[in-house]
Amino acid sequence: MDEQGSVRLRVMVDERGRPQEVQVAQSSGFPRLDEAAVSAVKRWVFAPAVQDAIAVPTWTQVSVVFRLTA
C-alpha cells in the first residue's frame, strides 16, 4: 500500500510503567499507521518517572516510524 511515515504519540505512563492513555500528537497521515502505532505502544512497558525516590505517573512522547524497505 506504499504507506510510510512517523507517528508522534503522547503517553500517560503510570507508576508501574504501563501506558494508561495513548493519544496521537502528530499523525503520519495514514489512519492505519496511526492505529498500529497506538496499538503497539499500549503493549509497551516503560521505566516509570521517579520523583523523590517514588515512582509517579507522567506524560511522555514517543515516535513510531514506519519505513518501507526494499
**Phi-psi sector, 32: left (phi>0), alpha (psi -120 to 50), beta:** alpha
**Would you give the DSSP letter of residue 18?**
-
Range of the domain at 9: 5-66
**Structural domains of the chain, count:** 1
Question: Each residue's pLDDT tens digit in the chain (70 positions)?
Answer: 788 999 999 999 999 999 999 999 999 999 999 999 999 999 999 999 999 999 999 999 999 999 998 7
Query: Given this model, what pLDDT does residue 60 score?
Result: 97
pLDDT given at position 32: 95
pLDDT of res. 70: 75
Residue/partner pairs of 39-46 with CB below 8 Å, 24 or more apart: 40/64, 41/9, 41/11, 44/19, 45/17, 45/18, 46/11, 46/13, 46/17, 46/18, 46/19
Q: Is the full-model pTM beyond 0.85?
A: yes
